[in-house]
């Protein structure tokens, strides 16, 4: 892994000529992602992120912590015990430099030894599930990491709106798989990561999969095509 996201985070934090990240998917063209967006404070976050951070309680695991903005708010503003977890080594180094006390560079599937009252997966948290084929493995891992009375707060977007419609309102969806299964590519300073699998889930599909893995599921809020869901043990 070239860790281009981590390089951009590192460059921005150290003011070493950072550039905007560029991202693209198998159904969308190249798009600019300003690195400073990953360092935004609570007031700059969207409604779903703010709601999740306000609902978080107890001992918290922030999966896909990135530059650490969510974990930093929970630690410094709400005085909560939070562990920032990410697969990006440079991002985790920046999390440490920003003052996050507990960090770990690890794939969530390989993480063990602790359990939590709240697990956060934000900024399309379902993305790390990769595909419908792998979703059960991730949900079972989350089930093992959450305390009996704990909660998982996860967001995603139903991307059906990105597909063409006919005059009658029907949607043209390519055959061969679930429409939310995408290839995602990151570009930074002339380098490109290998494509990764990234999953956008509509709420019904998430609900069905989570219930099949022992969770109760509630939609906490809806914001246009995006939503925040709460998963608790049955």
CATH of the domain at 215: 3.40.50.150
pLDDT at 166: 64
Report if residue 180 sits inside a domain: yes
What are the percentages of helix, strand and coil residues in the chain, rounded to 5?
35, 35, 35
Report if residue 110 sits inside a domain: yes
Report if residue 167 sits inside a domain: no
pLDDT at 171: 57
Q: Which residues of the chain have a pLDDT value below 70?
A: 164-176
Domain count across the chain: 1
Query: Do 6 and 89 meet the contact criterion of CB atoms below 8 Å apart?
Result: yes
Over residues 26-85, the pLDDT tens digits come to 889 899 999 999 999 999 999 999 999 999 999 999 999 999 999 999 999 999 999 999
pLDDT at 161: 81
pLDDT at 170: 61
User: What count of residues does the chain have?
Assistant: 234
pLDDT at 160: 87
pLDDT at 54: 98
pLDDT at 163: 72
- Pseudo-torsion of CA 143, 146, 150, 155, nearest 10°? -70
Question: Which backbone phi and psi does 2 adopt, to 5 degrees?
Answer: -75, -20
Report if residue 166 sits inside a domain: no
């Amino acid at each position: 892994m070239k860790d281009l996201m981590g390089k951009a985070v590192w460059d921005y934090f150290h003011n070493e000529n950072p550039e905007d990240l560029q991202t693209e998917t198998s159904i969308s063209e190249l798009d600019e992602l300003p690195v400073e967006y990953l360092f935004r404070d609570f007031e700059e976050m969207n409604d779903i992120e703010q709601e999740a951070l306000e609902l978080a309680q107890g001992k918290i695991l922030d999966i896909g912590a990135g530059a650490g903005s969510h974990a930093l708010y929970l630690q410094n503003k709400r005085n909560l015990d939070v562990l920032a977890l990410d697969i990006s080594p440079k991002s985790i180094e920046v999390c440490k430099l920003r003052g996050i006390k507990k960090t770990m560079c690890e794939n969530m599937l390989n993480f063990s030894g602790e359990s939590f009252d709240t697990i956060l997966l934000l900024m399309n948290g379902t993305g790390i599930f990769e595909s419908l084929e792998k979703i059960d493995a991730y949900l079972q891992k989350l089930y093992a990491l959450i305390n009996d009375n704990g909660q998982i707060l996860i967001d995603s977007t139903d991307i059906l709106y990105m597909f063409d419609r006919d005059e009658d309102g029907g949607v043209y969806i390519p055959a061969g798989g679930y429409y939310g299964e995408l290839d995602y590519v990151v570009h930074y300073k002339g380098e490109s990561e290998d494509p990764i699998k990234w999953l956008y889930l509509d709420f019904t599909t998430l609900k069905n999969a989570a219930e099949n893995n022992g969770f109760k599921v509630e939609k906490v809020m809806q914001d246009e095509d995006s939503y925040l869901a709460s998963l608790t043990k049955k």
